[in-house]
Each structure stands twice: as C-alpha cells, then as structure tokens.
Structure 1
Amino acid sequence: MSDVLLNFVAGGVGGSCTVIVGHPFDTVKVRIQTMSRPKPGEKPLFTGALDCAKQTVAKEGFFALYKGMAAPLVGVSPLFAVFFGGCAVGKWLQQTDPDQEMTFMQNVNSGALAGVFTTVVMVPGERVKCLLQVQQAGNSPSGVHYNGPLDVVKKLYKEGGIRSIYRGTGATLLRDIPASAAYLSVYEYLKKKFSGEGSQRTLSPGATLLAGGLAGMANWSVCIPADVLKSRLQTAPEGKYPDGIRGVFREVIREEGPRALFKGFAPVMLRAFPANAACFFGLELTLSLFRLLGLGHGAKKAEEK
C-alpha cells in the first residue's frame, strides 16, 4: 500500500499545477454557465468565452480571472491527492499481483471509485469557488456579498449549516463518477500507446503532456451537462431549488432548452488540455523523483533488474 501514499503525494503536486494553469479558464466557464437568460430584445451578458474574459479583465482587472483560486488551491491539491490515491486503491483491489497490468475496464473502475472518494473533499471548495467567481464587481446572484473564502464559509454556515456548505453533493457525484472513470482510463490507455512496446517503456515529457491533456478533454466531454447543473445549484439563493438538481434540470430545459446544458463548453475545453497536461506532468515528475529516491514498487522492480 506504499504506492497509495506516493500517488497521494504526487497527486497533490499535480493538483496544484492544475489550479495554477487552469483557474482563469474555470472562472470564465462558471460565469458563462451561471449568467441569466437575456430578456427579449436584450443582449446576453457575455457573447462567448473570449467576450467574458475581455469584459472581466476590462471591468475588474486581470487578477479577477483568479477570483476564488484560494479555495480550489487549498481544496484541489488534497482533492487530486485523494483522487490518485483512490486510483491506486482501485488498482490494488483489482490486482492479484503487483506487476499485473491493468486492463482498460479495470482503470475505468479505479477512476470511478476515486471519483466517489473525491466528492467529500471537492464539494465545499467547489461551492465557495463558484460563489466567488460569479460575484462581479461586488454583486452576486444570491444577493450576498462575500469578502473571501472564509467569509463565504461563515455566511453559508450561518445560512444553512453544513448542508448549505455541502449543497451540490449529488450533482458532484453525478458529474465525477463517469468523468473520473474516463479521465484515468483514457490517460492510462494513451500512456501505453505513447510509451512503446516491450519491457523498457518510457514516456517522454511531451507524450506525458499530450496524454494528460487529451485525458482532461475526455473527462470534461463526459461531464459538462452535470457541471452546468452543479454550478447553477451551488450559486443559487437558498431555497430556490428545494428538490436539488432535478429542479435545476427542469428549469434549464424549460427556459433555455437542451443546448444550455453545454454552456461553457468552449472555455472548458480550452482549459482542459493545458490544465490536465500540467496535472499529469506534475504527477509523473513527482513519481519519477520518488523512484530515483528508491521509493515505491516501481523503484523496487528497477533494483531487482
């Protein structure tokens, strides 16, 4: 089980890389997903991802794209640590021998299991992040002004206790179980393809970035509709959706149609490649360092050879 701990630590490094590279794209995505539908004759608040980024920088400055980053940086690093640790647990549960190569479906199972593990860590950070991201020039759809992540947590707890902080748990599970399954399985599949045949498989930095970026795109191509519903649920005023994600879904379909479920698709895909390329690069770099230090099963195998 030492590999679980090493993957946990390496995942934390990868998660930090993901947040730093991808947060501006995420801010644009959330603002597009949560903007209100324009009234007849009115222009939409944003005409697209580029317009949203331009308006945000023009009105609030460049660093507005990094609003709410403290919450995911604190939450995402352990989140990715839990994810990759969970993947290692899934691998350990399915292997009969430590050297057994995982099949595509076994990686699907490991990713899905890790997606369940990450929800407990992810939901509060996602709730805080989304509320700060949609707060434009001091205004918020919920009508409440927040001065930062801690202020969000305090006000949410005062408003509805732990349940308010964890609003969107079901929606997050609906998003992350299939997305995590796709994420890990596609990365591992591409990793094998890019590293060549035979016992001396090596993955170049470029191949790692490519495999990680494509895995990120596979992850988001699966889960974008659930992410739209989650963002709306987590930024709505208290009590607006008493039946949770089902109420959000009915409202979106009734008022905006199925296309609204893919709002933010462009910034999501623009973010997915560089952010997840950075994630897996950080992960593999850290695991390589561990192997150089003689830690983990991979290092033991190298010594035996």
Structure 2
Amino acid sequence: MARRGHTTTRITPLQQMAASCSGAFLTSLFVTPLDVVKIRLQAQQKPFAKGNCFLYCNGLMDHLCVCLNGNSTSSLKPWYRMPGKFNGTLDAFVQISRNEGLRSLWSGLPPTLIMAVPATVVYFTAYDNLKEAMGFVPGKKNYTVPIVAGSIARIIAVTAISPLELIRTKMQSKKLTYQELKSCIRSSVQSGGILSLYRGWGPTVLRDVPFSALYWLNYEYFKFQLCEVYHTEEPTLVMSFFAGATSGTIAAVLTLPFDVIKTHRQIELGEMETMQHCYQACGRSLAFINCLCIQQERLHWAPQSSSTFILMRRLWMQNGPKALFAGLTPRVVKVAPACAIMISCYEGFKSFFRRRNEQKRAELAAWE
C-alpha cells in the first residue's frame, strides 16, 4: 500500500505541463486585478513619466514595464495612465469596473502570460521530475531533496526565461519592430557576448532560488503533515491551498531583502533608460552632463551597486534593518494567495490526471 501523502500512479510530463499551465493561467486571472489597482493607485499619487518604470506582477513573476508616451487627449492612452481619483483599493475596484469596464482590471494580462506560462511550466515540471529522480518519499524526512530540486528547477526556469524578459523589456521601452529587435540583439551579443542576454540573472537567482528552496521544503512538510492528520494519500484542494499559502508566506518574509535589492536594480534599469533618452536628445552637451548628475543624485548608490551584498550592506547602514524589509505587507499579501492558488490548481489538475490514468489502466485491464 502507498504511504499516506504519496501516490504510485504517475502522470506524464505532458500532463504535468498542462497542470502547471492551467495553474499559471488561473493564478494570473485572480492576481492581476490586484496589481492593476495597486499600480493605478501609485500613478495617482505620482504620475509615471516617459522612460520611468514600474514593477508589474501577475503573482508568478515580476516584470519591469518602461512607461511609454500617452497622449492626454487620446482615448487610447496606456492603461496605467488612465485618469481617476480613487479613495482606496475597494473604491478603485468599483470605479474602474463601473467607468472602464471589468476588462480593465485585467489590463496587461496577455503580455505577462506570454512570460509567466512558459516559466511556470518549466519550473514546476522540472521540480516534479527532479524530485522523483532524486527518490523523494514523503515522511522519510529526506527534505534536502525539495531544497535541491526546487533550487535547480528555479535556476533552469530563470535561465530559460531571462533572454525573453530582456527582449520583452526592449520591445516595450522602444517599440522596436522585429527586424530592429533582431539587430539590437545581434549587436548586443557582438559587443557583450552571449552573457549580455542574461543581465539581471544574478540578482534574480539570489532572490528566487532561496525562495524556491524554502517554499518547497515547507510545502512538502506541511502537505505531508496534513495528509497524515486527515488520513489521505494525496492532499485536497483546501490542504494544498493552506500549505501553499503558509509556505509562500514564510519564504516571502525570509527572502524579502533579496526582493528589495532586485527592485532597486530594476528601477535602476528604468533610470538608465531615462538617461539614454536624455543622451539621445542632448548629445554630449552640458544638458546631458546635468541630466547625468541628476540621475546619479537620485541613485546615489548606483555607481557602486555592482555587488548585491555590498548594496544590502549599504542600505542597512543608511536606513537600518527596516530598509531590507520594506514592503513586507504588500509582498506577503501578493505572494501568499498567488502561491496558494498556483499550487492548489497544480495539485488539483495532477489529481485529475492521476484518476484519469487509473481509470484508463483499469479499463485496459478489464478489456484484456
């Protein structure tokens, strides 16, 4: 008999990919409106200027969005610059739905799905197969396996998606045609080598790998304990939801300093984009030198921020420990439900495919 919390019926890699793809899609549908409202509230306090950037997250991935021009007299202005006087989150939900239609709450969903779905498919499929190859059995206290499998799976996913993220950001920031984009990538590789396509890979790995290791360690532990308590071989949707939310919260809190650093680096990229626009407009003139000085004043740490740990130390010394844990509440509020929805959908679809495989096996046995 199978151990509680562990089933012997396998699902195919294609079914794993379908389960993770469905989970990513449903997570994006639930979480995207929250981030749309957050960004609109932020833009209300301080409107985004061309060349500046904001962070956009569908619950699965963070995206750097560089702001484009928006004609104030046009009805086709970017969604993040639409007018509105909101008195809070709930009021923003009501007003956006009433005045702009429900679809506005899912603005920006298609481009993020293009990134999030393949990354999630690679990540979850790699984790499950690595965990199985390493011989993980729930209840045997071999919890080094989820740590190693989760870390490797995250590195694979980040490595696979980094060039796509760079390409997407370039297309957003400059509205390049595919031919221009191809030339831009070719010149970037010629001047900086293939590694130029992986800018930002280091800080992303430093944030996401510890998160993945902590998340899967705690998730496997909580899932097994719940299965033991309720005497079931595999978790229900409620169990997966609870285990995912708890594990996501723990991982989000402990890895927040790395998330702060990643945010600083993404904002720095947006500021460099602004400097580039200034350079193109002014050339090597006094105006450009003034622009450069202004940018360096706004980012007084930027010229020295080559090392993640040096930047962490500098933030600690300037503003104390709270600087490395800025935005704790919003991060937990966003990450916990996203992790819960993703893993419960993923486990739910895997259970569906297992039952389907078992049924097919039984029918085949009866036919023979």
TM-score band w.r.t. shorter chain: 0.5 to 0.7
Distance 2:20 2:202 in 1: 24
Distance 1:146 1:122 in 2: 20
Equivalent position amino acid for 2:115 in 1 = G
Would you say the 8 A contact 2:244–2:343 is kept in 1? yes
State whether structure 2 residue 343 is matched by structure 1 residue 280.
Answer: yes
Distance 1:14 1:99 in 2: 23
For residue 235 of structure 2, what is the aligned residue in structure 1?
203
Would you say the 8 A contact 2:139–2:224 is kept in 1? no
Match of 1:226 among 241, 258, 283: 258
Seen in structure 2, the aligned counterparts of structure 1 residues 90 and 158 have a Cα distance that, compared at 3 Å, is closer
Gaps of 5+ in 1: 35-49, 133-143
Task: Give 1 or 2 for the bigger CA radius of gyration.
Answer: 2
Match of 2:121 among 81, 89, 99: 81
User: What RMSD, in angstroms, separates the aligned Cα atoms of the two structures?
Assistant: 4.7
For residue 108 of structure 1, what is the aligned residue in structure 2?
147
Match of 2:21 among 12, 16, 30: 12
Q: How many pairs were matched up? A: 274
For residue 4 of structure 2, what is the aligned residue in structure 1?
none
The alpha carbon displacement at 1:114 in A equals 0.9
Question: Secondary structure in 2 aligned to 1:95?
Answer: coil
Please, what TM-score do these two structures have when normalized by structure 2? 0.58
For residue 46 of structure 2, what is the aligned residue in structure 1?
none
The alpha carbon displacement at 1:227 in A equals 1.5
Seen in structure 2, the aligned counterparts of structure 1 residues 245 and 71 have a Cα distance that, compared at 3 Å, is farther
For residue 45 of structure 1, what is the aligned residue in structure 2?
none
The alpha carbon displacement at 1:203 in A equals 2.2
The alpha carbon displacement at 1:119 in A equals 0.8
**Between the two proteins, what is the percent identity of the paired residues?**
22
Please, what TM-score do these two structures have when normalized by structure 1? 0.68
Seen in structure 2, the aligned counterparts of structure 1 residues 174 and 64 have a Cα distance that, compared at 3 Å, is farther
For residue 292 of structure 1, what is the aligned residue in structure 2?
355
Distance 1:125 1:23 in 2: 20
Question: Secondary structure in 1 aligned to 2:255?
Answer: helix
Greater displacement, 277-286 / 244-253: 244-253
The alpha carbon displacement at 1:78 in A equals 1.4
Q: Deviations over 1:81-103 (max 9, x none)?
A: 1111111232133129x999672
Distance 1:248 1:209 in 2: 35
Seen in structure 2, the aligned counterparts of structure 1 residues 289 and 272 have a Cα distance that, compared at 3 Å, is same
Q: Deviations over 1:210-234 (max 9, x none)?
A: 1111122123123221122112212
The alpha carbon displacement at 1:207 in A equals 1.6
Match of 2:162 among 123, 126, 131: 123
The alpha carbon displacement at 1:279 in A equals 0.2
For residue 235 of structure 1, what is the aligned residue in structure 2?
267
Question: Secondary structure in 1 aligned to 2:357?
Answer: coil
Gaps of 5+ in 2: 1-9, 40-53, 57-61, 65-85, 276-301
Question: Secondary structure in 1 aligned to 2:147?
Answer: helix
Q: Deviations over 1:117-173 (max 9, x none)?
A: 1112443566688999xxxxxxxxxxx96679x9xx789859956766632100011
Equivalent position amino acid for 1:212 in 2 = G
